[in-house]
Structure 1
Amino acid sequence: MDQPKAAPTFISYAWSSPEHQRWVIELAERLENDGVEVKIDVWDLKEGHNKYAFMESMVTSPSIERILVICDKVYKEKADQRKGGVGTETQIISPELYENVTQEKVIPIIAEVDEEGRAYVPVYCKSNIYIDLSSQDQFEQEYEKLVRNLYNKPMHRRPERGKAPAYINENSISTIKEASINNQLKDAYTRAPQRVKGLTRQFLDEFLLTLKQFEYQSSEDKTIDEIVYNNVHNMLPLRNEFVRFIEQICDNQENLPLDNFISFFEQFYLYTQPNINDDEEQCDHYKFFIRETFIFLVMVLIDKRRFEEIASLTMSSYFIGERQEPMTFTEFCQHTYSLDERRKRRLQNRLFSNSAEILIRERATDRYNKSRIVEADLLLYHISKKFNHNEFEKWFPYTYVYRKGENLSFFTRLQSQNFALEAVKLFKCQSILDLKNYIENQIETDEGYGLVPGRIPRLRDLIPPEKLAVKN
């Protein structure tokens, strides 16, 4: 690996006193030890050399990329008064020469301040941003700043320029409010913890308000499945902010505010239900999105090993509108006819599910990839199968066909005793033995899409009971 190269540097200073000269030489020695090529009179100006020619060559030479002007009281006085003569005066370089060099080439280095703490800086470079080495308290911090400058490795580097935010696109919905709340939440965790609770509610409320902007709008030149698909596509930035929001909570809070999330999904569900005079399919983008949002919530919680909270969300009752009876989380997994039937016929594709294809091919990320989506989908199915005996109260794992026999991380890790001890909570088992017995005695799973892709994988297909908790 190539070593970084520092800018060759000339040090200009006044011989104010032996102590000051020693300070300057020690600075030059330290820079040399840190890999910087330093030019300074005591090393490079020999008997018989023309001192004025040497100094002017240092300023004008293209091989010298930085000039450190060591600023103390004497240097400032001689520079401002443009005194000539011999001795220390010869160390003052003509201000006219500095006017012809690039702006970043000259760096004032403060070696001394006055009684009021003001730096001694010559008039001709007073507007240059300086580095202050006059104080022992901040010397090391300022010295690092100098070395970084010479190596062109600043502490704060400009990030790579990304793409324009989604809300710049005139056809997309702005999620700038959600992004702003996420930024405020990040700051609140370190600076103002008392704001976290309010910002959490504010994000969820704002998310629900933004959903309203995606209400179905008919179009003469677009089919219903195209309109639904476009809405799903435009919802992606909102999904991304939701994932970021959940990650922040998991990284900074011991417990998920479950009541807030239960209320959130209760209100979210209302968007999936059409008005009396509307077509059922006009809410299909909301049906897709609530399923996706719940899956991604579970994926983040799996990633953070927050199994108790997954258990709470999947075992809670959800009270919707004026319904007399509560419902379970399985209601967040609804069939999207416009995508999975109408769009399939129109495009004449042979996919088992267009909505699953969208989720896998268009919504996966590097962190929450295809395998993680499938494992969360199958986990929700098996949780629902254990607790909901009603055929219509099961989570259908639309993405199961994308497993194709591969091992899924969550289920594979159940071989670990520690992991399995935590995961038994998801199935409301009292022990690993209880979970093992359940897996061994599990009745056959549902048919899924039919004969061609095969039945939905059983738990024993995902984690054989004899391998459960066999490793430390």
Structure 2
Amino acid sequence: MSDAQSPKLFISYSWSTPDHEVWVMALATELRESGVDVILDKWDLKDGHDSIQFMESMVTDETVTKVIMVSDKMYAQKADGRAGGVGTETQIISAKVYETAKQDKFVAVIAEKEDGKACLPTFYGKRKYIDLSEAEDYAKNFEMLLRWIFDKPLHVKPEIGALPAFLSESTAINLGASAAYRRALDAVKQGKPFAAGAVDEYFRAVSEGFEKIRIQKENEKEFDDQLVENIEAFIPYRNEIVSLIVAIAQYNALPNMDQKIHRFLESLLPYVDRPAHITQYREGDFDNFKFLINEIFLYVVAVFLKYERFDSIQMLLSTPYYIHERSRNGQTGAFGYQAFYEYVRTLDYRSQRLSLGRLSLAADLLKDRSQSSGLDFNQLMQADLVLFLRGTQDGERWFPNTLLYASRSYGPFEIFARSMSQKYFDSVKPLIGVADKRELGALLLNFKGPQSQLPRWQFDTFNPEVLVGYDMLGTRP
């Protein structure tokens, strides 16, 4: 770094003892080696020069952007007694500290403590200081000093973003379930005897509250704009659902909790089709429900995979979902978990209308929305892969939107990487519906050759064999 780019820094200190002077010299040397243009009397005060004038000019010089006060017991006493050169310097420094609003030119560096307390001049008050007096914390606090000198704080205040969609008056929704959520979450975490009832109450409130997010067409707005606003406004409620599922996966030892989650998911399915009271509708009118219900189901599976609740996942994937109201294109009856995937046509229309040039707006939204969920996006992709493989094995269709982002993955997802252990693979393979590695290999053959059943986004796809780490499965006990 050139001198022109280096911050100019003056060190104010007391000639307390020879050892202290050596300590200050070492600090100054370390700062210069770190790109700081240090001014020190031992280097820059020439024979015959006025030491008081030199010190005063360094404190008041506008080209000197930083001043550190190396404060030990002697420095603090001289500053408080206004004695000697230190007293003169600190009179000037204290005035500068009080007259400037920014107060970012001066900082105290602690070189000594007395009875565990930092030795500081009285005028410095309760301002922040940097403690270099303890050897075990020196490296960490020296980095803090450098960050202060170069104005590169460790924690940078982020830019203010746009108003979240769910706070907008035009899009705000209220499921009326937040109080029930807090009761259920606390009951599950504390293992309270009424936890099962509290979870039921919350799930019922969410299911019934879904009616409140039905989109009412506004003539002055594009429907796809309404759709995106609607699903964005749902994020806080999605996060509540995910948070409760995480708590159940971590804390719950209550019986029938898997069944309660199954019944909750089942209760959402009627929303993907026309209810009896609506006679005029378009296919896309229920696309917000299709997106949200798919997302919720994906998160439930992702959470249970993360916490290795494989029996719970097996129950959710193998138990049919009964729909007694008009749904699934007017059909009623029992359906597999594939009922939680429905094509959201409005998102493709939006991408075309706005010339977004995206391969899958659904995949983009799932990825962007994962940032506030508490789950890593890789965990969603892992869940999508399990659902896709299981669906293929069962002869059903599950379209794994998130795996668009796995097209350049070069290694297996976590549960498959762990399945290098045969014992672990034995617990994972029922999720896919295969009996052994050989049967999984036969399944993977469906994705090779000209008759490949792999989903595609134009020329992009993913490699299931890589994502399951097939070659390494079961190679260890």
Note closer, same or farther for the CA distance 1:16–1:103 as it changes in structure 2 (3 Å cut).
Answer: same
**2:392 matched residue in structure 1:** 382
Over 3 Å counting, the alpha-carbon distance change for 1:58 and 1:174 in structure 2 is farther
**1:314 corresponds to which of 310, 317, 330:** 317
Deviation at 1:218, TM superposition (A): 5.8
Does residue 429 (structure 1) correspond to residue 425 (structure 2)? The answer is: no
Q: In structure 1, the residue corresponding to 2:471 is in which secondary structure?
A: coil
- Separation in 2, partners of 1:228, 1:384: 34
Whether 2:296 is the aligned partner of 1:286: answer no
Matches for 1:198-209 after TM superposition, within 5 Å: 208=207
Using the TM superposition, give the Cα deviation of residue 44 of structure 1 relative to its aligned residue in structure 2, in angstroms: 1.8
Classify the secondary structure of the residue corresponding to 1:457. Answer: coil
Residues in 1 aligned to 2:454 and 2:94: alpha-carbon distance in whole angstroms: 83
Higher alpha-carbon Rg: 1
**Alignment of structure 1 residues 215-254 onto 2, 5 Å:** 215-217=214-216, 221=219, 230-231=226-227, 233-236=229-232, 238=234, 242=238
In the alignment, what sits opposite 2:338?
330
The alignment's TM-score, normalised by the length of structure 2, stands at 0.62
Matched with 1:107 is 107
Report the counterpart of residue 98 of structure 1 in structure 2.
Answer: 96
Sort the Cα spacing of 1:207 and 1:144 in 2 relative to 1 into closer, same or farther, 3 A.
Answer: farther
> How far off its partner does 1:262 sit?
1.6
Indicate how the Cα distance of structure 1 residues 236 and 313 shifts in structure 2: closer, same or farther if over 3 A, else same: farther
Question: Helix, strand or coil: the match of 2:24?
Answer: helix
**What is the rounded CA distance, in whole Å, between the counterparts of 1:149 and 1:17 in structure 2?**
27
**In the alignment, residue 10 of structure 1 is paired with which amino acid?**
F
Change (3 A) 1:34 1:216: closer
Change (3 A) 1:209 1:322: closer
Structure 1 unaligned blocks of 5 or more? 183-187, 351-355, 386-393, 443-453
| In structure 2, distance between residues paired with 1:89 and 1:298 | 68
1:70-97 CA distances to partner (integer Å, 9 max, x unpaired)? Answer: 233433343334345xx77666553576
Partner of 1:214: 213
1:405-464: per-residue Cα shift (whole Å, max 9, x none)?
x99999999x99959967743442212334456788x9xxxxxxxxxxx999389x9999
SS, match of residue 108 in structure 1: strand
- Tell me, in whole angstroms, the C-alpha distance in 1 between the residues paired with 2:144 and 2:54: 28
- Structure 2, unmatched stretches of 5+, are 327-331, 354-358, 371-376, 456-460, 473-477
Q: Deviations over 1:172-197 (max 9, x none)?
A: 23589999999xxxxx9xxxx94699
Deviation at 1:35, TM superposition (A): 3.7
- Are the counterparts in 2 of residues 375 and 410 from structure 1 also a CA contact under 8 Å? no
> Secondary structure at 1:104's aligned position in 2?
coil
Equivalent-residue separation in structure 2 for 1:325 and 1:218 (angstroms): 30
- Identify if the C-alpha distance between structure 1 residues 267 and 145 changes in structure 2 by more than 3 Å, giving closer, same or farther: same
Contact 2:215–2:226, Cα closer than 8 Å, also in 1: no
Aligned residue number for residue 356 of structure 2: none
1:396–1:78 Cα change, 3 Å: closer
Q: Tell me the amino acid that sits aligned with residue 428 of structure 1.
A: G
The change in CA–CA distance for 1:174 and 1:278 in structure 2 (over 3 A counts) is: closer
The CA distance in 2 between the partners of 1:268 and 1:326, in whole Å, is: 14
**Distance in 1 of aligned mates of 2:245 and 2:4:** 40
Q: How does 1:295-314 map to 2 (within 5 A)?
A: 311-314=314-317
Kept after mapping to 2: 8 A contact 1:330/1:384:
no
Distance apart, 1:308 and its partner CA: 6.8
For 2:4 and 2:270, locate their aligned partners in 1 and report how far apart those are by CA, in whole Å.
59
| 1:348-367 → structure 2 map (5 Å cutoff) | 359=362, 365=368
Is the CA contact (8 Å cut-off) linking 1:299 and 1:376 kept in structure 2? no
- Residue matched to 1:59: 59
Q: Deviations over 1:22-62 (max 9, x none)?
A: 44333333333444332222222121111122112211223
SS in 2 for 1:68: strand
Count the aligned residue pairs.
Answer: 421
1:13 touches 1:91 (CA, 8 Å); kept in 2? no
**Is structure 2 residue 12 aligned with structure 1 residue 12?**
yes
List aligned pairs for 1:35-184, cutoff 5 A.
Answer: 35-83=35-83, 94-95=92-93, 98=96, 103-115=103-115, 117=117, 119-123=119-123, 125-126=124-125, 128-136=127-135, 138-173=137-172
Per the alignment, in what secondary structure is the counterpart of residue 62 of structure 1? coil
Structure-1 separation of matches of 2:310 and 2:3? 47
- CA distance in 2 between partners of 1:116 and 1:458 (Å): 67
For 1:391, the equivalent position in structure 2 comes to: none
Please give the per-residue CA displacement for 1:185-224, whole angstroms capped at 9, x wherever unaligned: xxx9xxxx946998x95996776466343134366x479x
SS at match of 1:159: coil
Question: Is the CA contact (8 Å cut-off) linking 2:321 and 2:336 kept in structure 1?
Answer: yes
Q: Percent identity?
A: 23
Secondary structure of 2:64's partner?
A: coil
C-alpha contact 2:321 2:335 (8 A) present in aligned 1: yes
Judging changes above 3 Å, is the alpha-carbon distance between structure 1 residues 163 and 176 closer, same or farther for their aligned structure 2 residues?
farther
Give, in whole Å, the separation in 2 of the partners of 1:407 and 1:10: 52
Deviation, structure 1 residue 9? 1.6
Say if 1:79 and 1:64 are closer, same or farther in 2 by CA, change over 3 A. same
Aligned to 1:390: none
CA contact (8 A) 2:227 2:287 kept: no
| Distance in 2 of aligned mates of 1:435 and 1:313 | 21
